[in-house]
Amino acid sequence: EDKVVQSPLSLVVHEGDTVTLNCSYEVTNFRSLLWYKQEKKAPTFLFMLTSSGIEKKSGRLSSILDKKELFSILNITATQTGDSAIYLCAVLKTSYDKVIFGPGTSLSVIP
Amino acid sequence: DGGITQSPKYLFRKEGQNVTLSCEQNLNHDAMYWYRQDPGQGLRLIYYSQIVNDFQKGDIAEGYSVSREKKESFPLTVTSAQKNPTAFYLCASSMTPRSATYEQYFGPGTRLTVT
């Protein structure tokens, strides 16, 4: 059965800290791994990772995929209170019809 | 503005009643999806549709039904057969899934409470 696991499930940090969120997967016919940020309602897209070892960056956020070890990390440097959200990891299969989501990591950044 | 709309934001129903959640998109996306989100469980796929007049069951389709008569619209009916319908429901759409820059756009969600 396809599975996406995230850790930790929740995390509290102080502003300015650097955090690393983990996502591991056991999915047949893997195509890409996706990261989303969900603040209150609708998740918003952050990254899509298809190739191993190529870091994607957007401001203070970066992510990398390891297809051999079947995991990805999402790094957030110099965290701000606006980074408080649920971060969702998901896997897109080669059949392109299903995206399998992990349970999410709830991040709280306190001043 | 382009985007996905879901209505209503909050919905209250009594047990035994069917209820329909609306999802409309004006992004000209081919594919549309319905997810259910419960605390600590992430998003679980209920139904998805890649083209008009066609849809497939996701992982938790029991007790739900959908239709896709128009490209822009993908309503979800929560029937009385759904044992635990209270949840947050998210609708999403995407370009043809084989697009190299695949991305799902989500609506704001509907929180359904059944008592």
* Mean pLDDT of successive 10-residue stretches along chain B, which has 115 residues: 86 91 94 90 90 92 96 95 92 76 84 93
- Chain B closest CA to A36's CA: distance in Å? 10
**Of B106, B107, B89, B99, residue with least CA distance to B30:** B99
- The Cβ-side half-sphere exposure at B21, using a 13 Å CA radius, reads 34
Judging by DSSP bridges, how do beta strands B19-25 and A44-49 pair with one another? unpaired
For tokens 């239709």, the residue is B67
Q: For chain A, first and last CA: distance in Å? A: 41
Calculate mean pLDDT across residues A61-76.
96
Residue A21 has phi, psi (to 5 degrees) of: -105, 140
- Residue A40 pLDDT: 79
Calculate mean pLDDT across residues A9-15.
97
Chains A, B: CB contacts under 8 A, how many? 52
- Residue B99 pLDDT: 63
**Of A102, A72, A107, residue with least CA distance to A90:** A102
Query: What is the b/e burial string over B18-53, where b = at least 16 CB atoms within 10 angstroms of the residue's CB?
Result: ebebebbbeeebbbbbbbbbeeeebbbbbbbbbeee
User: Which residues in A have their CB inside 8 Å of a CB on B?
Assistant: 4, 6, 9, 32, 34, 41-45, 48, 88, 90, 92, 96-104
Mean pLDDT of chain B: 90
Best residue of B23, B33, B48, B102 to probe chain A, by most A CBs closer than 10 Å? B102
- Residue B100 pLDDT: 54
The predicted-structure confidence for B19-32, as pLDDT tens digits, reads as follows: 999 999 999 998 99
Out of A27-31, A34-38, A65-69, A71-75, pick the least confident. Answer: A27-31
- Residue B68 pLDDT: 97
d(CA A72, CA B56): 29
Q: Report the chain A residue with the minimal C-alpha distance to residue B3.
A: A42
